[in-house]
Structure 1
Amino acid sequence: MTNYTIEEKDSFTVLGIGTELKSDYTDYAGITKEKADFWHAVKEDGKLDTLKAVATNDYIFAVNEAVNNKMMHYAGVMTKETLPEATRVIQFPKGEYLVVKGEAKTAEELSNTLTGIAFGQALAEAKNVAYVGGPNTTVEMGQRNGLVFGEMWIPVVRK
């Protein structure tokens, strides 16, 4: 039994800097490497810090979204501001979300673990809801006891 909840969330906006994932959607190792390389780059070049400077809270969002038949991945923050470096303003709808909580040694490990649990187990177990697309995100919320903690949020509809 997977630990997940269904939660009502207000609509929110994430300002993101993104990259197109070129690996096939079934190539988990390839996608994981592309995401890791992307996160390393946005931390090294200061773009993540630029985003954090306009954030309304301390959360860091790792957003996955299909845009024009491309798999996109974004580093983002919750904000009402815009930046020239940003590549997309991502709208998350008001509604129900499947939420998986967890913690890990690194933000990357947290994102990979939560994504695996959410798509590999929780959505299959959640018989009364379905994911019908739209952006989904892992949310790095902070650190405690030497671990990064956060959640995965997937918009769902009732079956």
Structure 2
Amino acid sequence: MTNYTLEEKDSFTVLGLGTELKSDYTDYAGITKEKSDFWQVIKQDGRLDTLKAIATNDYIFAVNEAVNNKMMHYAGVMTEATVPEEHRVIQFPKGEYLIVRGEGQTADELSNKLTGIAFGQVLPEAKDFTYVGGPNATVEMGQRNGIVYGEMWIPVVRK
């Protein structure tokens, strides 16, 4: 099984700018394209830079959350501030989190790789814990030698 850890985390909030994902939840290619297009738009129009400017650290969150029966995807940061654009304060619960670490050539590649490992390998094979919903996030933590590194954080409960 892939390397992963379970870590206790205090509750935390992420301020996010979001988009509704319209692809069926089983359409991995469609979801991946929608997320990629969304990130490209917020990088080009400056909204991502606006978020980064008010962040309390260098982490960039790619958050997935079901809201009112809609599949939502957010670009977010940890901050106490707000932004003028429509945004959502995303509350992550205190508790145990599945942490999968990795790296990629780009933030998109990192996010896709970690999501695939977490939901395609670790969670289906897990015997002691399970994901019961709530927001989950890929956390871009920085770059080393041109490689983007980060983690996937998924709240889990013991079986």
Bin the TM-score by the shorter chain. Answer: over 0.9
TM-score of the superposed pair, with normalisation by structure 1: 0.98
**Aligned positions of 1:1-159 closer than 5 A:** 1-159=1-159
Alpha-carbon distance in 1 for matches of 2:101, 2:114: 7
SS in 2 for 1:96: strand
RMSD: 0.7
SS in 2 for 1:58: coil
TM-score of the superposed pair, with normalisation by structure 2: 0.98
What one-letter code is carried by the residue in structure 2 that aligns with 1:34? E
Q: Sequence identity of aligned pairs in percent?
A: 82
Alpha-carbon distance in 2 for matches of 1:126, 1:78: 29
Query: Which runs of at least 4 in structure 1 moved beyond 2 Å after TM superposition?
Result: none
SS in 2 for 1:36: helix
Which ranges of structure 1 fall in alignment gaps of 5 or more residues? none
Residue 5 of structure 1, CA deviation = 0.5
The one-character-per-residue Cα deviations of 1:72-129 (angstroms, maximum 9, x if unpaired) are: 0000001111112142000001110000000000000000000000000111222111
Determine if contact 1:32/1:112 at 8 Å carries over to the other structure.
yes
Alpha-carbon distance in 1 for matches of 2:154, 2:80: 21
SS in 2 for 1:48: helix
SS in 1 for 2:26: coil
